[in-house]
Chains A and B, each alone.
Chain A
């Protein structure tokens, strides 16, 4: 990864492929905006949403790491989390930027996207509207939270002081906005009781999405930190990892309880035992995404950095399966038409994500995001 290289004079090898992918993505994105959705995507009237929405639904809880970490470190008073606020907030900001760009790609009438901000037209009963507003505001909050990184480098002292003074209000607003849109992402599907597969549709969707965002964000943090800290040869704080693991397991248990409770309460257990693709996916998702990470975290492994790391990996896979089913597979209509993303859809997605890595690498290279390695001891 680009960020590994500490020497500023030499450009890391990963720079060029990432740059090429990003440029291809940008080119195709412009092409898509000019010629429309028909020629560039495989979306159709039976699958009006595709890859881009699935990726958004997955990236939002992952980028939600920024919200979980700031909740814990600013409000639950954990000083040891402070060292990871900056990496998490930067990742959050880049993640949300990718989400924003992909959403812009997706809307057909992008020339008037700003209609979502026109007060008399705002529909507060629409969770889509609420998500749009929250994500926009939250991206602004993330900019404020990450701004000191740049301001300190360029020597602007006063604005940093303002931000530091207001940090609890800023971080607090970010947390509230995150709670809103993370849960609302699930509420989006409340309007589809007859379309979404019953094993996934439940009135508890907002709660499930919220809990999932918390543990997925924590899992993503554990995964990323272990990789980067190792690459930078920073000492890993084991205690911090254990705590991340514990916070994760609490949320995983709540999630599992609600999910199982809903299946039993709605009498959907027979659907789980039916030997069809949905029953299988439900099992797979539950075992990989919940049971496995919980098993790891409740064992002694939680005390090693490998524990939360692997729990995070499995939680991420589970969440991806869940969001994939909810936004795509589980919405299948009784129709002969099917959907698989076109190469342009795929390359735009890949390009934007590559661009995200590029940006992250560049910022890490020139600004102080990670704690300095301790040379003395």
Chain B
């Protein structure tokens, strides 16, 4: 067997070239701040009276259109939409009655941020997950990967639709020093409050221990789906409120682990393997060398 030096160099060059292209980026969540210091909201379903002050505040601050009923008499969205970043839903059933507020959960390790190809969705160091339409290509992968079915798309806009979801009023209020999320600042009952995640968790724990029997003994979002920045307390089981049991693992964990393993693995291993095959295969004449 004679090894052709030129071929060897070609293969080696390919291997090195690919190896250089290997990602050396570590940005699973750029949140440098301690989790307890990040902003969060606490929604206590046992206090909420369903007045919709929060949803009106959201409309005013974001300039979204009301979604009226057929008689144009009532702003009555039943689901999140491109125009409705948050809404109050009502559960009535075997386990009693409860309102529940819906919006982006601002996950601690958001699947949407992990999946977005162009970093149009970003986890800020302060906690909120924000969106930049100038980067977004409108692929809607974020809609698929969000475990809470949150991101919505402007289907009826021709040029050019954007992804719509709650952004914690991060750029419009918090960064300008106006206050917290419009909804939390407007809530008249104290059912919805905002602050540091650590403080809110302590408050939630206090409420549970001081009112035995009032709450389900669980703070939804403390570690569900790897933790969220919107925390829930409830008297009825969380599944009834549409807050499913997603386990405590963060969603992007498996995917990002695979990315870190498979990408460099194939980029480096592939050329090396090909080179080895090429060098050990009998040269000239293309004789039978492999059992395929």
List residues of A whose CB falls within 8 A of some B CB.
34-39, 43-46, 48-49, 72, 75-79, 106-113, 115-116, 118, 121-130, 132, 166, 168-169, 172-173, 175-176, 179-180, 183-184, 187-188, 190-195, 203, 206, 243, 246-247, 250, 331, 333
Contacts and interface: CB of A to CB of B under 8 A. Distances in A.
Nearest to A115: B118
**Interface SS, A side:** helix
Interface of B: 7, 10-11, 13-14, 18, 23, 25, 27-28, 79-81, 111, 114-120, 133-141, 143-145, 147, 149, 152-162, 244, 246, 251-252, 254-256, 258-260, 262-263, 266-267, 270-271, 274-275, 277-278, 281-282, 285-292
A179 B136 CA distance: 27
Secondary structure of the B side of the interface? loop
B292 A246 contact: yes
A125 B28 contact: yes
A30 to B, nearest CB: 13
Contacts of A243: 292
A158 B11 CA distance: 22
Given A78-B286, A173-B18, A191 B255 contact: yes
B272 to A, nearest CB: 10
A43 B156 CA distance: 11
Residue among A110, A132, A176, A203 with max Cβ neighbours from chain B (10 Å): A176
Given A45-B152, A125-B27, A179 B255 contact: no
B157 A36 contact: yes
Contact of B274 (A106, A175, A333): A175
A111 B277 CA distance: 44
Contacts of A77: 281-282, 286-290
B2 to A, nearest CB: 14
B143 A45 contact: yes
Contact of A126 (B116, B155, B292): B116
Contacts of A184: 262
Given A123-B117, A166-B10, A176-B271, A108 B153 contact: yes
B60 to A, nearest CB: 23
A116 B287 CA distance: 43
A172 B140 contact: no
Contacts of B162: 109
Given A79-B286, A123-B117, 12 more contacts: A36-B155, A48-B140, A110-B160, A121-B118, A122-B117, A123-B118, A128-B139, A180-B266, A187-B258, A190-B255, A194-B251, A206-B262
B14 to A, nearest CB: 5
A331 B277 contact: no
Given A121-B119, A124-B25, A111 B282 contact: no
B292 A76 contact: yes
Given A36-B156, A72-B292, A183-B266, A115 B135 contact: yes
25 contacts: A37-B161, A38-B157, A45-B152, A75-B278, A78-B286, A108-B161, A113-B137, A115-B120, A122-B119, A124-B263, A125-B27, A125-B259, A126-B114, A168-B14, A169-B13, A175-B270, A175-B274, A180-B266, A188-B141, A191-B114, A191-B115, A191-B145, A203-B254, A246-B292, A250-B292
Nearest to B161: A108
A184 B244 CA distance: 28
Given A38-B155, A169-B14, A183 B137 contact: no
A34 B266 CA distance: 40
Given A124-B263, A168-B11, A38 B156 contact: yes
A180 B22 CA distance: 12
B139 A106 contact: yes
A76 B277 CA distance: 7
B241 to A, nearest CB: 14
A164 to B, nearest CB: 12
Contacts of B288: 77-78
Contact of A107 (B79, B137, B145, B266): B137
A331 B149 CA distance: 12
Contacts of A187: 255, 258-259, 262
Given A125-B28, A173-B18, A194 B147 contact: yes
Nearest to B141: A128
Contacts of A166: 10
A333 B114 CA distance: 21
A111 B140 CA distance: 15
Contact of A191 (B252, B260, B286): B252
B152 A176 contact: no
Contacts of A48: 140, 143-144, 153
